[in-house]
Chain A
């Protein structure tokens, strides 16, 4: 168990370093940063000044090491556009994105798990086919389009929810629904196939031979085993949601990290872009690590071997 965790942790750190390097290199590859920061009306002198001020005239390796050392300490420099510490910007906006992601995941699980279990129990029935059809539609629907439809119906026509902006819980409902839609199909399919496999297993026959209740057979003995792959995918899906929040937050004008990323990319605010990529990647890595841990908790064969 300790060796398993140590190995996973080492891999996570290596991945984080790779992402760090890539996010640095990609912003440098997008063109001469000094020119784009200075703007179209700047003179050659202005550009040169900016290059010196931001240390862009130093060798690439030195810039990289300098940035790396400070990033490790949580110092991502200062935003050109917002005139604020990047770390501050992210700290303010991250809670919004995380809340949105968790709301989306919670909604997705609440819908996907029961439907997946029901579809598996009634395998081949109309209920099963109906559920799978919903999964197909959900998978095929672009999220920005679903967002617009919800805005028109729930926001404009019915007036139940605010159309866009950042605020109380009611602002999270529509974006949460849209985010959950992207995760529901895969979670539901996985729950269904896992349950079908579990329910046809010998240990379920044993559970029935023991005269256990239907609930105990389905949930304690069936779902417990079907849940192992679902947990991994749920963690990955939450990662996708945080990345996908760039689109959703822009559609719903929520001032989270995704929106920040969009703003700073369009303004070439490279310290912010680098930091956002890094933070999202770190969260993603942390989530996969968490999924591994949860798997070890759920599957004793991983824990004790």
Chain B
């Protein structure tokens, strides 16, 4: 199966700081690929780098960045802008501020279709209303005429999702789309994404730090740490047979009903994600790892730990 999105050895630097250090991943058509890791590990930067939306001062390099078989790493802003919103779309973590306060929902949704497909106003309005209905918004006609400040956070995020779907994209990158929302709304949004994927067959790259979300909707999971993908596997394999000490640490932090009893201590990983200086060698996790040894300061091998299961570690931790 040829991948919809293929990223090889992606590197992003801001000034002297390396935010992403050689991350590779692939998203197939119709697949949900989750990118997990704690705050500051480079998940959001990775997603923005793929979309070509890095903030000023961010530099991107990759040995390959292919979308639908086409190398897009060398695309300029104009070429990227033709892809963005049309064939690859993105939704963000901050529904409260991601919509322009000066324009109505309708105006902001329709401009995507008019820009990429040259649709008429009426066509675009129909499409926007249809999508608002699809993401579970009642009275789409009313909402189209409203301004963002008149909508709740959950509604705004639905609008963002509907807006991202205006041109029937092949790839949807969702950067923590549910983090800012309360739990009931979170569940609705996730169900919505899963349903849309089933119906439309779109590839989703979902950035999250919520392993509960991952378990529910991911086909494949990549665990990021300090700008590297340290482990990548199909979801069941990763949860059942985690090989990297960091992955194990993350999983131990999640209370599982039945497994973790009342009064048991939840796991935690001491310390925070370090800032990686240029020219750093070895495993970035070694200072927080219980299994660290001398080899961890040298080059770290990328190993196959099963079918489609890769791990970046010197150890051979058995299940």
Name A residues whose Cβ lies closer than 8 Å to a Cβ of B. 200-203, 205-214, 216, 221, 224-225, 298-301, 304-305
**15 examples of A-B residue contacts, CB within 8 angstroms:** A203-B98, A203-B101, A206-B100, A206-B160, A210-B111, A210-B163, A211-B84, A214-B81, A216-B115, A221-B103, A298-B102, A300-B147, A300-B149, A301-B101, A301-B147
Task: List 7 tightest A-B contacts by C-beta distance, closest first.
Answer: A211-B85, A211-B84, A210-B85, A202-B97, A203-B100, A300-B147, A211-B81
Name B residues whose Cβ lies closer than 8 Å to a Cβ of A. 51, 53, 55, 77-78, 80-86, 89-90, 92, 94, 97-104, 111-112, 115-116, 147, 149-150, 160, 163-164
* Closest CB in chain B relative to A68 CB, distance in Å: 43
Most central of A202, A225, A298, A304 by chain B CB within 10 Å: A202
Residue of B nearest to A208 (CB): B53
Contact B84 A208 (CB under 8 A): yes
A207 to B82, CA, bound (A): 13
A224 to B100, CA, bound (A): 10
Give the total number of A-B pairs whose CB atoms are below 8 A apart.
Answer: 84
Residues of B within 8 A of A205 (CB): 53, 92, 98
A248 to B160, CA, bound (A): 53
* Closest CB in chain A relative to B139 CB, distance in Å: 17
* Closest CB in chain B relative to A205 CB, distance in Å: 6
Contact B112 A210 (CB under 8 A): yes
A304 to B146, CA, bound (A): 10
Residue of A nearest to B107 (CB): A220
Residues of B within 8 A of A212 (CB): 81, 85, 111-112, 115
Residue of B nearest to A209 (CB): B90
* Closest CB in chain A relative to B163 CB, distance in Å: 7
Residue of A nearest to B77 (CB): A214
Residues of A within 8 A of B89 (CB): 209-210
* Closest CB in chain B relative to A211 CB, distance in Å: 3
Residues of B within 8 A of A299 (CB): 101-102
Contact B51 A203 (CB under 8 A): no
A224 to B107, CA, bound (A): 14
Residues of B within 8 A of A301 (CB): 101, 147, 149
Residue of A nearest to B83 (CB): A211
Residues of B within 8 A of A200 (CB): 55
Contact A206 B99 (CB under 8 A): yes
